[in-house]
Amino acid sequence: MQKKLIALAVAGLASTGAFAQANVTVYGVADASFDVVKTSNATSDLGNTTRVSTNSSLIGFKGAEALGNGLTAVFQYESGVGFDNAGALGATRDSFVGVAGGFGTVVLGNLTGPTRALGGAVDVNVGATGIGANSALLGKLGNNLVNTTDSNGNYAGGGACARSSTCTSIFDTRWKNAVAYVSPTFAGLSATVAYVANENKTFHNVGVDAANTTGYDAGLKYANGPVMAAVTYNAVSLGNDAGTNVSDFRVGGVYDFGMASVRALFDRARANHFGGSSVSQNVFGLGGTFNVTPAGKLLAQAYFARDLKVDGSSNGFKDTGAKLFEIGYEHSLSKRTMLKAVYAHLNNDDGAAYDFGINAVGVGAVASGVPATGGNATGATVQGIQLGLRHTF
């Protein structure tokens, strides 16, 4: 299942008709693969490593109840399931409660915003997961904007990603403490606006930095027939002593020919008052799928992160980009069970240290700074093969 706008997550619930009580659906994904991953060209190469990965596997509960007067209460609890290790259950994925009607849908909780949703919708991998996912490069700003806010709403910025962890940008993770409005769809056009509450607000004091993390995520989407196109903008103010603001602009789309599809995405991440500088980076991506048989599909994509620009110039920050290439094959055994094989190759420039967005290899920490340019993994080549089975229920 592709990552989707909140509108798609609740549209089915809001249109299921009248219920005397809430109907609850249990659903999920069990996705496991055997991986062979490798790093090279770094100062501390890991060489070949084998592992079993549960690629964004999940279990969820969702339901709806007709309230009368055209209103429907909706809810969803969704948890990631890492059954390749000890794991734990919790409402770590899209989880919310809300109300839907002719005016649209309003939900509150832990939410995927339209920016993250667009990246997932354009990705060629089912579920937008695995080592070839485009989230390896999107929005990371040279690995300075990796990971998300903690349970208190604070954001620490970049850093190393542990082995087999999710290593995506702040814009490609779910927003905690969020409220969102999804408009009705008019001739294929819909809008989504999400607000992130500043639950972590603190004032500067002796030994304590100020914090006031808040933001919004807005998107406009057109989906009609074979065409899907969207534009999104996500802006976050950290409210720290430096006054740091980060943002991400995306535009992309998919055209589905039936037996094939083409996809394109442009991403521009930016940070202001970032160590006294303004830092930006552009990422471009192209992808496509082709049905070679009724049950088999080839997929491929390529993404290119350009050099960082600091105060409008890349001077002194050349070779801070990266390239991601993926080719794969998916074979459906049934409507719900699929075999898959993927090869992904991430090539860092000499001053970059990107890792896979899903199931990182753990290439090492990047040095602190604006932007981060050091660490023992700059210039690393990260590659891997995944052979797996995916079942939805």
Task: Give the mean pLDDT of 186-208.
Answer: 84
- The DSSP line for 125-143 is SGGG-STT-GGGTTT-TTT
**Which whole number is the average pLDDT over 367-381?**
57
pLDDT of the residue at 10? 44
- pTM reported for the whole predicted model: 0.89
Residues 6+ apart with CB under 8 A from 88: 82
The answer to whether residue 1 scores a pLDDT higher than 70 is no
The C-alpha atoms of residue 167 and residue 159 are separated, in whole angstroms, by: 10
Helices then strands, each counted (H, E), the chain: 2, 18
What mean pLDDT do residues 5-12 have? 42
Tell whether the model's pLDDT for residue 122 goes beyond 60.
Answer: yes
pLDDT on residue 125: 97
Burial 107-118 (b: 16+ CB within 10 A, else e): bebbbbbbbbbb
pLDDT at 341 over 90: yes
pLDDT reading at 87 higher than 70:
no
100-113: per-residue pLDDT in tens? 999 999 999 999 99
What tokens appear for 79 in the block?
């948890």
pLDDT tens digit sequence for 178-187: 999 999 999 9
The residue that leads in pLDDT, 301 or 275, is 301
- What pLDDT sits at residue 124? 98
% of residues, the chain, pLDDT over 70: 85
Give 55-79 pLDDT, tens digit per residue: 999 999 999 999 999 999 999 999 9
Rounded mean pLDDT of 154-165? 76
CA distance 17 to 142: 47
pLDDT at 43 over 70: no
